[in-house]
């Protein structure tokens, strides 16, 4: 079968790899240039030599299946243990070790988080820089051979036998609404439309040849910041590079503010945590994650339409969590289910 997957995050690429390994023809459509979705790496600075993870800074494992996946990625040199406890900052100051958080290993990607997506994408036909603007089911009896048509925003189309939406719930809702089709698709829309997201502003900043601090990451109880990642403790960027993630309240309050104002506020906040030197980065950039982390979840590993003539399923982190692990498990569960259900 030709299976179309919208979204090259870890959920879409995990499902795609499993289905392709068993003989399905899998085409993954991704609107941005790279793979990995929110597991992403920005190339910055002069000659784009600097790599910073501006999405998820680290990965943690709870269950056995994801622990095995992380071990596989370690075997390939894509992931490495980073730290089992982050530092902490609040009104009382800086603490080397978080005073109350349980120790758990966090893994980082020495060559950038996007290497995970790059590795998974080797099994599929990956088409980047293409955005799906709408979906149509083909009426039975039509001359078209495949039941789904994906309409791209560049007006090209792609026909597939089965469709997986591996995008944040709000974006999945928008795509489902473009379908002319009835009840089975609408029923999925009703469920995805209940999911909300916290937005996240992310500040990437570099500080030249300043000494790299000992700490790996700082969990912040601060009115602006939630976490600061020491990217230079993951890889030698040639200069000290830090990434600060704003908390949900600040990001929501400033969602319509100009980026240069947000950049100023976040730089000032970073200097409150780290010291006045952090107020004058050599370069900095802000990224806005509109759909940063799901606030509520669907209590199932995936959703599927009941209309078997045009198979359609939704996967992603918002199924049973809001983490890299929940996205991986969602993609894996659906792929295992479709291997038993759909003919090759
Ligand atoms: C700043 C930040 C920090 C985070 N920190 C952590 C952390 O520490 N630990 C953790 O476990 N998780 C963290 N997360 C969450 C984690 O990154 C996500 O849960 C996970 O990566 C989501 O994977 P996914 O495959 O479900 O979706 P995504 O990674 O969002 O992938 C969806 C893909 O679909 C593409 N797309 C969307 N619409 C279309 C369309 N119409 N056509 C084509 N392509 C489309 C998008 O471009 C994207 O690449 C963080 C997230 C952010 C933003």
pLDDT tens, N- to C-terminus, the chain (344 residues): 999 999 999 999 999 999 999 999 999 999 999 999 999 999 987 788 899 999 999 999 999 999 999 999 999 999 999 999 999 999 999 999 988 889 999 999 999 999 999 999 999 999 999 999 999 988 666 667 899 999 999 999 999 999 999 999 999 999 999 987 666 788 899 999 999 999 999 999 999 999 999 999 999 999 999 999 999 999 999 999 999 999 999 999 999 999 999 999 999 999 999 999 999 999 999 999 999 999 999 999 999 998 888 999 999 999 999 999 999 999 999 999 999 999 98
Cα 4 to ligand 1 centre (Å): 18
Cα 291 to ligand 1 centre (Å): 8
81's tokens: 């243990």
Residue 141: its pLDDT value, please?
65
Residue nearest to atom 31 of ligand 1 (CA): 9
State which fold the 1-31+129-196+297-344 domain adopts.
FAD/NAD(P)-binding domain (3.50.50)
Domain ranges in the chain with CATH number 3.50.50.60:
1-31+129-196+297-344
Best of 38, 148, 153 to mutate for ligand 1, by most ligand atoms within 8 A of CB? 38
Q: Is the CB of 287 under 6 A from ligand 1?
A: no
Residue 48: its pLDDT value, please?
87
Domain ranges in the chain with CATH number 3.90.660.10:
50-111+197-295
Residue 139: its pLDDT value, please?
66
Domain 50-111+197-295 has CATH 2.40.30.10: no
Cα 303 to ligand 1 centre (Å): 18
DSSP 3-state percent helix, strand, coil across the chain (nearest 5): 30, 30, 40
Rounded distance between C-alpha atoms, residue 203 and residue 244, angstroms: 5
Rounded distance between C-alpha atoms, residue 255 and residue 267, angstroms: 17
Residue nearest to atom 38 of ligand 1 (CA): 167
* 40 dihedral zone (left: phi>0; alpha: psi -120 to 50; beta): beta
Q: Is the CB of 31 under 6 A from ligand 1?
A: yes
Residue nearest to atom 53 of ligand 1 (CA): 292
Residue 306: its pLDDT value, please?
86
Cα 117 to ligand 1 centre (Å): 11
Instruction: Answer yes or no: are the C-beta atoms of 334 and 320 closer than 8 Å.
Output: no
**38 CA: nearest ligand 1 atom:** 29
* Of the candidates 74, 106, 138, the residue with the CA atom closest to the CA atom of residue 310: 138
**Strands, E, within 39-118: which ranges?**
41-44, 50-53, 80-83, 87-90, 93-95, 106-108
Rounded distance between C-alpha atoms, residue 147 and residue 160, angstroms: 7
Q: Is the CB of 171 under 6 A from ligand 1?
A: yes
Best of 324, 330, 331, 333 to mutate for ligand 1, by most ligand atoms within 8 A of CB? 324
Model pTM score? 0.97
Place of tokens 């792929």: 335
Cα 142 to ligand 1 centre (Å): 36
Residue 183: its pLDDT value, please?
67
**32 CA: nearest ligand 1 atom:** 47
Q: b or e along 253-285 (b: 16 or more beta carbons within 10 Å of the residue's beta carbon)?
A: ebeeeeeeebbebbbebbebbbeeebeebeebb
């Amino acid at each position: 079968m030709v299976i179309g997957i919208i979204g090259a995050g870890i959920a879409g690429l995990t499902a795609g790899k499993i289905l392709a390994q068993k003989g399905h023809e899998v085409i993954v459509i991704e609107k941005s240039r790279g793979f990995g979705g929110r597991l992403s790496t920005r190339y910055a600075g002069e000659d784009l030599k600097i790599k910073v993870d501006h999405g998820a800074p680290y990965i943690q494992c709870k269950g056995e299946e994801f622990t095995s996946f992380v071990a596989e990625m370690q075997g390939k040199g894509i992931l490495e243990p980073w730290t089992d406890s982050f530092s902490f900052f609040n009104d009382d100051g800086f603490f080397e070790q978080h005073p109350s958080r349980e120790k758990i290993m966090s893994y980082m990607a020495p060559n950038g988080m996007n290497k995970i997506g790059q590795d998974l994408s080797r099994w599929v036909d990956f088409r980047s820089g293409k955005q799906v603007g709408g979906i149509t089911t083909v009426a039975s009896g039509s001359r078209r051979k495949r039941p789904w048509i994906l309409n791209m925003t560049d007006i090209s189309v792609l026909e597939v036998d089965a469709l997986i939406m591996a995008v944040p719930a709000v974006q999945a809702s928008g795509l489902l609404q473009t379908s002319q089709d009835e009840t089975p698709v609408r029923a999925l829309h009703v469920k995805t439309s209940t999911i909300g997201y916290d937005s996240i502003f992310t500040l990437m900043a570099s500080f030249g040849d300043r000494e790299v601090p000992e700490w790996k990451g700082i969990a912040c109880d601060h009115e602006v910041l939630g976490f600061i990642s020491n990217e230079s403790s993951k890889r030698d960027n040639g200069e000290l590079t830090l990434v600060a993630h704003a908390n949900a309240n600040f990001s929501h309050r400033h969602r319509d503010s100009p980026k240069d104002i947000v950049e100023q506020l976040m730089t000032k906040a970073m200097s409150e945590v780290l010291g006045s030197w952090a107020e004058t980065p050599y370069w900095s950039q802000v990224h806005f994650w509109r759909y940063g982390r799901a606030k509520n979840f669907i209590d199932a590993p995936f959703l599927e339409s009941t209309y078997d003539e045009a198979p359609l399923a939704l996967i992603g982190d918002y199924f049973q969590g809001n983490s890299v692990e929940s996205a991986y498990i969602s993609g894996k569960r659906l792929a295992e289910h479709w291997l038993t259900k759909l003919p090759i």
